[in-house]
Chain A
Amino acid sequence: MSAETAISNPSQRRQRSVDQLKKWIGHVPAYLVLGAWSLFTLFMLVWVILASLKSNRDLYKNIWALPTQIHFENFTKALFTIDMGKYFLNSLVVVMPSIFIILALSAPASYVLSRKIFKGSNLITMIFIAGIGIPLPLLFIPLFVILTALHINNTLYGLGVLYIATSLPFTVFMLTGFFGSLPVELEEAATIDGASDFQVFFRVMLPLASPGLITAAIFDFIGIWNEYQLALVFLNDPNKSTLSLGLYTLTNAMQYTGDWTGLMAGVVIVMVPTIILYIILSEKMIAGITMGAVK
């Protein structure tokens, strides 16, 4: 035992515990602020879930009380009577293929752009990234004309095409950053071993980039799953509504029905997929924000 660790002197020991106490007290404001902020979010989520299981009469009587009886029928009603189930499927049908195509388009493009192997690659990267700054409302009317000419306006195909096109700028921004951070040496080694450029990409770079691709996929999924602006403009047929748009329609109907608990069930149905993803993959997502922005 060294002299330092053997604290036999009581006054030294007291000094130490005073220091620790001081340090702890110093942290109290931080815990209070961060704790209150986090609890607010948590409380809201728990409250929505509880409200979605109550009857409307219970909710109006006392908003704080636990449900006296569990009312799962709010969910069956939301899913089947108000068609949230159909909207859920519509969303899946649009979102899943869109994500796949976004990655299939932007991964190869980002790879080529990140290697800067031809003149003008920087300019093309800039043009892609500039899309982040183009406000979508500017595109509404020209896109309406284009989709109508292609006979895909007011269809899920048309909406999917728009999701793909509008997700490209951010995805390319993220993935060029990610490919750019991968070492060139590996490619060179593979080339020396006789691999063609295509083989280098599919056999070496794509597997290496998979963490980046997954992060981009999560981001695109959350963005498209949650969006209702484009759906609002380009889908008029209630049968084709996506989940977010369906929930918007439901909130509109609220003024006539007063069915808050049914609405809360709708909110839960919309939130659950992204929150589950977030619980499993929050570290990956948080890393993703910084992938393009913080070098």
Chain B
Amino acid sequence: MKTRKRLIVLFLLPASLVYLAFFLVPAVWAFYYSFFDWSGFTEKMKFIGIHNYTELMHDPTFLLSLKNTLFILVVGGIIIFALAFLLTVLVNSGIKGKKLFRAMIFLPNVIATIALTTLWAFIYNPNFGLINGVFKLIGWKAGATFTFTSIDHIFYAMMAALIIIQVGFYLVLLMAGMDKIPAEFYEAARLEGANQWQMFTRISLPLLWDVISIGTVLYAIFALKVFEFPYAFNQVWPPQQLYTVGIYLFIEGFGKRIPIYRLGYATAIGVVLLLFVGVIVLLLRRLMRREVIQY
């Protein structure tokens, strides 16, 4: 019994201490900073109560960042899951090379975000890029001169790229769930004369519910804290059209070209972001809760 206690302490303590010191404590500490006006690491902090939060509610740049983030979450999420489902059904339709297709579609997920943004910068480049090049080849003038990365379109161009990259991850997740469903279910349904769509809605969807539920939570977390891809998408300084909440926090805290640090304000943005993650994850878990189907 004594060794058991020693085992628990020795095995659990190191990880817990590191996690506490460099993750949990800073997360809690952030709440404290968010009530201060603090313009630099050497400056004095001034307590201003909830002023940072009230200012946030009227800050057009913050509201734009929030809108962008929620757009990535909701619209991006719906498209990603629809595509991932479509591809899962196609990959599982009895074709050859299932594993190869899965591996290829997942591939972008192992490449550094910054390499991916560079790739997409080429794909969208109006002068010698891939898409405009294809339009030029087929002789479509209007398409060939279209600038995908102009200020009006850059957010959607970024979204499209992000979606194509992310789909592979959810494809892998859904396929793993599919593999757990016994093949007899589909055979029985086929004998009864069910078509692909019926088999999908009556067998796959209900039995995949657990996987879908975890997948949506993972996507929500990813979408709410997304930073790297939109931040680097424009190659140089990101225009406001690409701001997500995480990016705006960074810009306010560290990233201005003329360094005006607003550390308290930036931390308040982080706190709001954390609250969004918490509320949305709880909401999703609530919405997706269902009786587990045993099989």
Contact = CB atoms under 8 A, between A and B. Distances in A.
Contact of A128 (B19, B99, B278): B19
B138 interface: no
Interface stretch (A10-18, A77-85, A101-109): A101-109
Interface stretch (A66-74, A157-165, A180-188, A207-215): A157-165
Interface stretch (B52-60, B74-82, B148-156, B169-177): B169-177
Interface residues on A, range: 35 or more
Contacts of A161: 18, 22
B66 to A, nearest CB: 13
Nearest to A246: B114
B221 A139 contact: no
Interface in B76-125: 86-87, 90-91, 93-95, 99-108, 110-115, 117-119, 121-123
Contact of A289 (B23, B108, B173): B173
Interface string B204-246: 0000001100110010010011011001100110000000011
Residue among B87, B112, B269 having the largest count of chain A Cβ atoms under 10 Å: B112
Interface in A241-269: 243-244, 247-248, 251-252, 254-255, 260, 263-264, 266-267
Interface string B18-32: 110111111101100
B95 A138 contact: no
Contacts of A37: 87, 101, 104-105
Nearest to A196: B3
Residue among B23, B94, B115, B250 having the largest count of chain A Cβ atoms under 10 Å: B115
Contacts of B246: 135-137
A60 B291 CA distance: 59
13 contacts: A44-B123, A109-B11, A133-B277, A134-B23, A135-B270, A141-B263, A168-B19, A228-B114, A243-B112, A248-B232, A251-B232, A270-B112, A286-B106
Interface of B: 3-4, 7-8, 10-12, 14-16, 18-19, 21-27, 29-30, 33, 41, 86-87, 90-91, 93-95, 99-108, 110-115, 117-119, 121-123, 128-130, 133, 169, 172-173, 176-177, 180, 210-211, 214-215, 218, 221, 224-225, 227-228, 231-232, 235-236, 245-246, 249-250, 253-254, 263, 266-267, 269-271, 273-274, 277-278, 281
